[in-house]
Structures are given as structure tokens and as C-alpha cells.
Amino acid sequence: MSAGTSYAHGTSDTPLLGDTIGANLARAVERFPGREALVDVPSGRRWTYAEFGAAVDRLARALMAAGTGRGDRVGIWAVNCPEWVLTQYATARIGAIMVNINPAYRAHELAYVLNQAGVSLLIASLAHRTSDYRDLVDRVRADCPRLRAVHYIGDPSWDELLAGTVPDGELAAREAELSCDDPINIQYTSGTTGFPKGATLTHHNILNNGFFVGEMLGYTERDRICLPVPFYHCFGMVMGNLAATSHGACAVIPAPSFDPAATLRAVQRERCTSLYGVPTMFIAELNLPDFAAYDLSSLRTGIMAGSPCPVEVMKRVVAEMHMAEVSICYGMTETSPVSTQTRRDDDLERRTGTVGRVMPHVEVKVVDPATGTTLPRGETGELRTRGYSVMLGYWDEPERTAEAIDAGRWMHTGDLAVMREDGYVRIVGRIKDMIIRGGENVYPREIEEFLHAHPKIADVQVVGVPDERYGEEVLACVIPRDPADPPTLDDITAFCRERLAHYKVPRRLEVLDAFPMTVSGKVRKVELRRVHGG
């Protein structure tokens, strides 16, 4: 294709890794035995690479002793904790397929995932917040005939699991059978309608994605990565854990689930060099009353991803959190996840106005969603991606797989994007989130970015709601900086009038205390439309 089309290929002098995850971890253990691999701040537990490798080995043998075969599905339904990480690497070492289960799931959702994936062994937390996991499992177990064993972290049943073992030769023989193209992970995408789909990922998919994300951030064995993002999501287990172990770096767990103060305490105490989060997490940290009291001077980099990153928030993260090399990543579970990323030496405009450029060994293009034709640079269309990172498919759902991955193995992201002349990509919004007002296409992201600069607005989400005259109307849902002095619709109209086309100016306003969120930190726009669209 000519240079003027919206296509880019990430050529690289660094080859893809051909390892399994177990082999890659073994190399890190050999190179960095005395360096810290994992720190759990809440419990004070720490593992060097030698200790972490031994702990993974012990759990791998225990799972084999419990009858877990290659390709068997092992569910992990737990908040962030060291046992989650050990399970991730132990299942990979024996070729079992780890099934990530969202800790927020209730009984109905849990039963669906256990049955859809055919989970035979489940590892679970005992409880978190209002969830009693043992009670929920007991309620669905009779409806899950393939579930033969459940082990609870911190419970005698966990100790019983670890008591089992197999000889050295059996584990070595199992590992010798494995291929880097074997499926070893099923991640359920948070469907906004209907049941979630299980993206099926290989060693090759996620090990390489984690490795190249770490390469873009310049990771070495000296880095310490604070991970307040959930492990059940690819942000935590791939961009976090696998980026760390593939570089000999240390993963730091600040809390079982996101807590802004605990996150900053962990950065300060553990002298973390990198911090991850979705934009709402960074906003919560920056808005802590005692934010200025934390010593964050050890930070140099990190990732802001998971949903569109507001320009004003990114500027504050760079200026006030010492994250001069912070990166934006864009991707989706089905692509392991990252397809584009900003680089460490990018200027502020690229790191705030785009989601970066194509990753090494990956292809991206922007097409007319109706025809599939690649568009000229600068035009809006659907972003599609191809390469090592694209999932095998949705578990046991060939029809839904065929809807997402075409005959050329291009993954259809469903995201509207523009590829600039310099190859950097700007995400305009979701195809399904685009507002059509009186025949005009309105992209919520553009309006959200603009309203983030309003002095009375701390955070904002824009959605389309039904309107008799125009088909859809623009609704701005805002969280005010000062609840006692929220913006009015007149304030917002005046702020927008000179800078935005009339059809983009919000005609409705809702002032909220918080947005409805998924556990992974994404705003549930479908719920904003449903609740406030009347």
C-alpha cells in the first residue's frame, strides 16, 4: 500500500520470543535469582526470582498431582494477590488453560463461565467486600457438573492442594510436550449486552505482548512496577506480570483491589519506577487531599490505558507524578492486548493526543467499516489489527469468532480511529458509541477531551440519548471538582459555543457523584444511556 493509506506495520530488529511462558520465566530465574520478583504490600510477603520460581514449581506439581492435564481449564476467581500470580505461571508451566474470572461476578455469571469454559478445578478468594465466594460457589456447584475441585486461598483447602506433588521427571516431561502456540489463557471480555465471550490466548500471544510493552517502556531488572490494575484483566497479567518477568523486573501489589491511597503508599515505600492505571485511577490519586505529601520521585514511567486518556489528566501525571516517560497503550483483550503504544521519547502532543503507533511485529489499518477498503490517512474509519497478538478465537464459539476475525486474520476492533500522516493513531470512539444527531456524526471522545479543560469539571462522559427531533441528542455526565459548585448547562453551553460546532454542544447535563464502572475501570456508557436517557 502507498504511504498515503492508513496502514502501518511494526518492523523490528528485535525478534519475537519463541518460548513458552515457563521457559521464559526459567531464564529470568537463572539470570536474576537474588532480585525481587514479587512484593505483596498488604501482607508484607516478598519473593526473589529464585523463591518465586520455586513457588511456581511447587504449585505446578501440586496441580499435576491433583489430576490437571494439558489443556484442562483451571479457573482463577480472586482479587489481586500473590497466589493469583503463582497460578498464572504454574498453569502455563503444565500447559493447563487458566480461565480468568471477574471478581465482581455474581452466581449467574460465575455459573455461565464455569460451564462455558468447562472449568474442572477452581482457585478462589474466600471473600472480598460484599462477596462471599464460598457461598456463591456452593450456590452454583450443582449446576456445574465438570467442576470437580475448588480450593480457596488462605483456607485449609489451599494447603491441601499444595501438599500434593509429582516427581521432577513428570513435570519436565509435561513441559517438553508444550508448544508456544498452545492455548493457555481464556479471558472473558466484559460484554455490555449478553454473556461475555472467552478470548482464547496462547503463550506466544501474551508473552510477546508483555515483552514488547516492557521493551517500549525500557524495562530492565532494576524496574519496580506498581500494579493497582486487576490481574484478571490483561492490563494486570500481561502488561504487568509478563512485562515484569520477561525483563527480570519486580511486580508490586499495592492492595487486593484499587485503593488510591494504598497505591501511592506502595509507590513511595517500594520506590516503584513504574505505575499503571486507567484514567479514573490516576484521577482518584491526583484528587487525594494529601496527594502532595507522597514521595513519588522514584517514578519515571508507567501506562495509562483501558479507556480514552484525557489530555489534562495526562499533563498532570507527567508534571506532578514524575512520570515523564508515561505511555499510552491501546488494545483489546482479543489482541493480547496492545496494538499501539506511545514511545518514551514522544513529545507531549503525541503522548496526549494519540494512542501511539503500531507495536513491533503488528499490523494496523483504518478501513471503511462498510466496505473494508483501507482509507487515506486522516480519515475516520474502523481500526483493524493483525499479527502474533490476535487471539486463536472465542472459546467454543466459532460463529462469534468469524464475526470478529475475517478471512485475512484481521481483528475487527469496533473502534473508530484516524491514522495521522506520521503514523500515530487517534481513537475517536466506539462505532456503537458514535452519536448521530440530525444526520451529523458526533464523536463523544472529542467533546470529553474539550470539557476536561472546564475549571468546574473533574471528569466527564458524553453519551447519545434518544431525541424525537434529532434522533439522538448529546448528554454530558459530569463529576464536578467542587460538589458545592457544580457546572450548569448554561456554563457548559457558553464554554463550548465558540469552540465546538453547534451540533456537538451538549443539550443535556447530568451532575453525578461517580460513574458506573466495570471492575477493570471502564465507564459503563450503556448504563449512563439507560439511566439518564429518559
The reported pLDDT for the residue numbered 520 is 61
C-alpha span between 368 and 356 (Å, rounded): 21
323: domain range?
7-419
Model confidence at 4: pLDDT above 50: yes
Average pLDDT over residues 157-170: 97
pLDDT in tens, 67-90: 999 999 999 999 999 999 999 999
482 and 447 within one domain: yes
Is 425 a domain residue?
no
Grid coordinates given for 24: 521464559
- According to the model, what pLDDT value does residue 3 have? 59
In this structure, the answer to whether residues 189 and 134 fall within a common structural domain is yes
The pLDDT of residue 387: 98
Report which listed range, 178-192, 285-299, 434-448, is most confident: 285-299
pLDDT digits (tens, 9 = 90+) for 105-116: 888 889 999 999
How far apart CA 403 and CA 248 sit, in angstroms, is: 39
Asked whether residue 427 is assigned to any structural domain, the reply reads no
pLDDT, average across residues 488-511: 93
Alpha-carbon gap, residue 105 to 109, rounded angstroms? 6
Which residue from 323, 326, 341, 337 is spatially nearest to 424, judged by alpha carbons?
Answer: 341
pLDDT averaged over every residue in the chain: 94
Residues 210 and 297 in one domain: yes
Q: Provide the number of structural domains found in the chain.
A: 2
State yes or no: pLDDT of 138 exceeds 90: yes
More confident residue, 471 or 77: 77
Q: How far is CA 72 from CA 1, 91, 146, 203, 390, in A?
A: 43, 9, 11, 15, 22
The lowest-confidence range among 127-136, 254-263, 521-530 is 521-530
Residue that wins the pLDDT comparison between 409 and 190: 409
Q: Average pLDDT for residues 249-257, to the nearest whole number?
A: 98
The set of cell numbers assigned to 531 is: 439511566
Q: Does 523 fall in a domain? A: yes
Cell of 173: 516431561
In this structure, the answer to whether residues 440 and 407 fall within a common structural domain is no
- Please indicate, yes or no, whether residues 406 and 314 belong to a single structural domain of this protein: yes
HSE-up of 126 (CA within 13 Å, CB side)? 6
Q: Which of 457, 464, 532 is nearest to 488 (CA)?
A: 457
Local confidence band at 434 (pLDDT 50, 70, 90 cut-offs): confident
What does the pLDDT average to over 36-63? Answer: 98
Shared domain check, 483 and 379: no
One domain for residues 438 and 415: no
260/393 same-domain check: yes
CB 471 within 8 A of CB 485: no
Average pLDDT over residues 312-335: 93
| Average confidence (pLDDT) over 186-202 | 81
**Containing H/E element for 444?**
helix 444-451
The amino acid present at 109, given as its one-letter code, is E
> Which of 376, 394, 419 is at the close of a domain?
419
**pLDDT of 192:** 44
Least confident of 234-238, 372-376, 517-521: 517-521
Per the CB < 8 A criterion, the answer to whether 377 and 424 are in contact is: no
Question: Looking at 66-75, 249-258, 525-534, which range is the least confident one?
Answer: 525-534
Q: Residue 325's pLDDT band (boundaries 50, 70, 90)? A: very high
- pLDDT band of residue 191 (cuts 50, 70, 90) is low
Cβ atoms of 5 and 374 within 8 Å: the answer is: yes
How would residue 349 be classed by pLDDT, with cut points 50, 70 and 90?
confident
Q: Are residues 410 and 462 both part of a single domain?
A: no
CA pair distance 190, 210, nearest whole angstrom: 21
Could you tell me if residue 192 is inside a domain? yes
Alpha-carbon separation of residue 508 from 115, 146, 241, 534 (angstroms):
43, 50, 42, 11
Reading the block at residue 163, the C-alpha cell is 501438599
Quick check: is 426 in a domain? no
Question: 210: part of which helix (H) or strand (E)?
Answer: helix 203-216
SS3 content of the chain, % helix, strand, coil (to 5): 35, 25, 40
Supply the CATH number for residue 475's domain: 3.30.300.30
Residue 341, CA distances (Å) to 108, 125, 215, 328 in order: 36, 33, 11, 6
Please indicate, yes or no, whether residues 71 and 137 belong to a single structural domain of this protein: yes
pLDDT band at 165 (very low <50, low <70, confident <90, very high): very high
Task: Verify that 47 and 138 share a domain, yes or no.
Answer: yes
Which one has a higher pLDDT value, 422 or 351? 422
Residues 395 and 439 in one domain: no
The model's confidence at residue 1, banded by pLDDT at 50, 70 and 90, is very low
Please, which residues have CB within 8 angstroms of residue 418's CB and are 6 or more apart in sequence? Answer: 6, 366, 378, 379, 380, 425, 426, 428
Residues 281-308, mean pLDDT to the nearest whole number: 93
pLDDT at 193: 45
Across residues 6-33, what is the average pLDDT? 98
Which pLDDT score is estimated for 409?
A: 97
Model confidence pLDDT, tens digit, residues 211-231: 999 999 999 999 999 999 999
CATH number at residue 327: 3.40.50.12780
Asked, for residue 23, whether it belongs to a domain, the answer is yes
Q: Is residue 1 in some structural domain?
A: no
In the chain, % of residues over pLDDT 70? 98
pTM flag (> 0.85): yes
Q: Is residue 147 part of a domain?
A: yes
User: For residue 42, which amino acid is it?
Assistant: P
Q: How far apart are CA 28 and CA 243, in angstroms?
A: 12
The residue-averaged pLDDT of 481-506 equals 93
Cell numbers 463461565 label which residue? 113
pLDDT at position 194 is: 60
